[in-house]
Amino acid sequence: MQSIKTAESQLRWTRKHLLSLEQLSADELRFILDTALSLKEVSTRSIKKVPALRGRVVVNAFFEDSTRTRVSFSLAAQRLSADIIDFSEKTSSTNKGETLIDTARNIEAMGIDILVVRHGAAGAADILSRAMQCSIVNAGDGAHEHPTQALLDALTIRERKGRIDGLSVAVIGDILHSRVARSNIYLLTKLGATVRVAGPGTLVPAEFAELVEQGLRIERSVEDAVAGADVVMILRIQRERQDAAFFPSMREYAVHYGLHPEHLKRAAPDAIVMHPGPINRGIEISSEIADGSSSLILDQVTTGVAVRMAVLYLLAGGSRDGFTEEQNGRAKKEKRERKGNKG
């Protein structure tokens, strides 16, 4: 599929859905990141709103718990002037036996443009994209992918480091159950980073051996994974997805795989630490690191709003140049108003 029209004046992303980063090319990934960067400024204004999606309807359909993703998709839609409806499984008629597709089709029948869906089953967003007319955004599907998380991670890295190409990124923790790890591995390797993963042997998927040819390194210890790393990305133990004992106890996990200040001495001197949240202090990361100067955990959350704005905006048919024109128009209008006030 031709995903980006590269006509000089109007760059436009023509995909209907955002389901996984495995499907996207490096050019598409850069395009979304560039668009997000141009939208980031909106959140710094006193009136944090642009009219780009006025009249459009976005529904957040979360079938799994969320704080960051759900709130930031809501804020992103609001900052673009879209109408946003929050749907929660816990209070819905799915509890009376309605299926996922029937639920989504009924919501769509009320007239919506974009459905943001989080679900515990891998492939849920993909199934919906085949059954519905509106755009679908995958906000995390089981242990499969979490595309907007990896995009916000990448933009956070790019803003701090100035690039992604050539960086060494260590991803440490529960890789097996982590959709964040998968999306990040696809994205970071496509954009030229080297990724190493580390965790208990039981929590590193066997199929990752196939990715070694593409440059993925599988390390057996945190010490080896962080050695010389520019970025250290820590993952939470996903107890909600674990149906067996993958390590003896949380205490032992914390001792062997938790990130402590001593580890960071082995990383690059200006290494940054990231975590998608929610963090479990004292288990996968010490408070000293989570709250320390290397930590970009809250910067990730801030950047998430811009990334989700970009995704909603582009899926709704917006062009990156279109937004830039809108910004220029606004700047000109503000200048005129300032002149008028002086006169």
By the rule CB under 6 A, 67 interacts with ligand CP: yes
CB atoms within 10 A of CB 25: 12
In the bound complex, what is the minimum distance in angstroms from residue 71's beta carbon to ligand CP?
8
In the bound complex, what is the minimum distance in angstroms from residue 90's beta carbon to ligand CP?
15
Q: Tell me the window of 61-69, 200-208, 214-222, 316-324 that interacts with ligand CP (CB under 6 A).
A: 61-69
Burial of 233 (0-12, 13-18, 19+ CB in 10 A): buried
By the rule CB under 6 A, 68 interacts with ligand CP: yes
Residue 179 or 263: which CB sits closer to ligand CP?
A: 179
Relative to beta strand 12-13, strand 4-5 is antiparallel
Per DSSP, the three-state class of 132 is: coil
Pick from 105, 168, 99: which is nearest to 131 by CA? 105
CB atoms within 10 A of CB 153: 29
CB atoms within 10 A of CB 333: 10
By the rule CB under 6 A, 238 interacts with ligand CP: no
- Single out the residue of 20, 35, 60, 69 in contact with ligand CP (rule: CB under 6 A): 69
Residue 20 or 149: which CB sits closer to ligand CP?
A: 149
**C-alpha–C-alpha distance, residues 221 and 198, integer Å:** 6
Q: Tell me the window of 65-73, 77-85, 93-101, 258-266 that interacts with ligand CP (CB under 6 A).
A: 65-73
Residue 50 or 114: which CB sits closer to ligand CP?
A: 114
Cis before 147 (ω within 30): no
By the rule CB under 6 A, 66 interacts with ligand CP: yes
By the rule CB under 6 A, 215 interacts with ligand CP: no
**Cβ atoms 137, 116 nearer than 8 A:** yes
# of chain residues touching ligand CP (CB under 6 A) = 11
Helices 124-131 and 100-108 sit at what angle, rounded to 10 degrees? 50
* Contact map string, positions 125 to 164, toward ligand CP, x by CB under 6 A: ---------------x-----x--x---------------
By the rule CB under 6 A, 35 interacts with ligand CP: no
Residue 67 or 214: which CB sits closer to ligand CP?
A: 67
- Eight-state DSSP code of residue 126: H
Residues sharing a CB contact under 8 Å with residue 32, sequence separation 6 or more, in sequence order: 13, 24, 151, 307, 310, 311, 314
In the bound complex, what is the minimum distance in angstroms from residue 94's beta carbon to ligand CP?
19
Q: Tell me the window of 49-57, 63-71, 257-265, 320-328 that interacts with ligand CP (CB under 6 A).
A: 63-71
In the bound complex, what is the minimum distance in angstroms from residue 116's beta carbon to ligand CP?
11
**C-alpha–C-alpha distance, residues 87 and 132, integer Å:** 17
* Contact map string, positions 257 to 286, toward ligand CP, x by CB under 6 A: -------------------xxx--------
Residue 150 or 218: which CB sits closer to ligand CP?
A: 150
By the rule CB under 6 A, 173 interacts with ligand CP: no
By the rule CB under 6 A, 184 interacts with ligand CP: no
Residue 238 has φ and ψ, to the nearest 5°, of -90, 75
Q: Tell me the window of 19-27, 43-51, 68-76, 327-335 that interacts with ligand CP (CB under 6 A).
A: 68-76
In the bound complex, what is the minimum distance in angstroms from residue 148's beta carbon to ligand CP?
8
Helix (H) or strand (E) holding 60: strand 57-62
318-to-11, 35, 58, 76, 153 alpha-carbon distances in Å: 9, 10, 15, 14, 23
Chain residues binding ligand CP by CB under 6 A are 66-70, 140, 146, 149, 276-278
